[in-house]
Amino acid sequence: MTDVLTFFDDAQIRDPYPRYTQWRQRHPIWRDDFSGRWVLSRHEDVFEILKDHQRFSSAGMGAALALPLLTDDPPRHTQLRAIVNKAFTTAMLKSVEPEVTKIADDLVEALPMSCDVDIVAHLTTPLPVTVISRMMGIPEARKADFKRWSDALTGTLAGASPEARKAEMLEMAEFFRQLIPQRRAAPTNDLVSAVANAQVDGVGLSEWEIVGFSILLLIAGNETTTNLLGNLLNVLADRPDLWRRLREDPELIEPAIEELLRYDSPVQFVMRSATQDITLHGQRVAAGDNVIVVMGSANRDAALFDAPDEYLIDRPRGRHLSFGYGIHFCIGAPLARLEARVAMRALLARADGIGRGVGHTQRVASHLLRGFEALSLQLHN
């Protein structure tokens, strides 16, 4: 089979993993003609780039909006990260777990049994969107807006033109902008209030930084969980043996989640910009060149993982990079893990088995995110 050195096409969305194997084995660095970006796919390279923010900058790497943290380097990144770190502490997660559990239990209880259900529409989307809405102090009546805005920003809003996506993003930005004076005048115990009233060295954040932070929290609080859960249930639908094991031993839920993160990562890549000339695998990457860093490939590198293309919940913990590494480690990772764990507990308690439905199933139309726009499943008693 001829090696495919193409990144942004439909085949990449359907199943990128055979290409990743080719790239790791024979093309550890190559340049994508469409985007002009260098592509690196081996675990060693991905890990080194993610942790080296001095030689590989995040500045200017925003796809649609230059969001705080994602497109900042130190020292500003360090200052801003301290603000959100306070919101995602272990104590905070413990405090919200009962509420997350109640939301998940109610959603799972409402799922029909022994007939087709789109698990994305009825569980994997409403769970994280409801949770982050409450954490941000946003009326749950706006949940549909939240999801639409989030999809517009990440490029997964089905059928949306660039102009339509831009309009959605402007609507989202204006929504959060209007919240700022309200949360400054009458702050409550929510994430938007925390950001709106935060200070760095005695100076409050700019209006755009507050808006950008709010957008970032929205995205981090729902996209990862939706895709993580969908990808996990997609695997389990074909593995009744694993469903039985998880029901018999709920302690395996966490290893099952971690293995899914490695096996079918919700976020496939990030981008960085070289700050200086550097040679990688004999290829000169010039200062200013952009680099695609493929975590989804690194997670299946045989140099680090035995039988990398198999989903094995007994696999020894390895260093998967699904949430990134270093200063840009995903702020929503602890919440996504919590929501996935709680949702799986509820599903396993209710259903003896899971299988494929005959309804509509479709992958998210994104190269960046890997998940499902619709996933037809059946739960069985």
* Strand intervals (E) in 119-188: none
| Long-range contacts at 77-80 (CB < 8 A, ≥ 24 apart) | 77/53, 77/327, 77/328, 78/327, 79/200, 79/201, 80/200, 80/209, 80/213
Dist. CA 191–CA 96, nearest whole Å: 13
φ, ψ of residue 321 to 5 degrees: the values are: -120, 25
**According to the model, what pLDDT value does residue 60 have?**
66
Third-level CATH fold of 10-380 = Cytochrome p450 (1.10.630)
Question: Which residue(s) pair with 291 in the sheet?
Answer: 38, 272
N-term to C-term CA, the chain: 44
CA distances from 328 to 57, 86, 88, 356 (A): 11, 16, 14, 36
Question: Could you read off the pLDDT of 197-216 as tens digits, one per residue?
Answer: 988 888 888 898 889 888 88
The answer to whether 127 and 225 are in contact (CB under 8 A) is yes
Q: Which residues of the chain fall below pLDDT 50? A: none
Nearest to 155 by CA among 374, 364, 380, 375: 364
Dist. CA 342–CA 302, nearest whole Å: 31
**According to the model, what pLDDT value does residue 77 have?**
78
**According to the model, what pLDDT value does residue 158 have?**
57
Helix (H) or strand (E) run with residue 76 in it: helix 76-85
The answer to whether 150 and 222 are in contact (CB under 8 A) is yes
**According to the model, what pLDDT value does residue 156 have?**
62
**According to the model, what pLDDT value does residue 70 have?**
73
Question: Which residue(s) pair with 331 in the sheet?
Answer: none
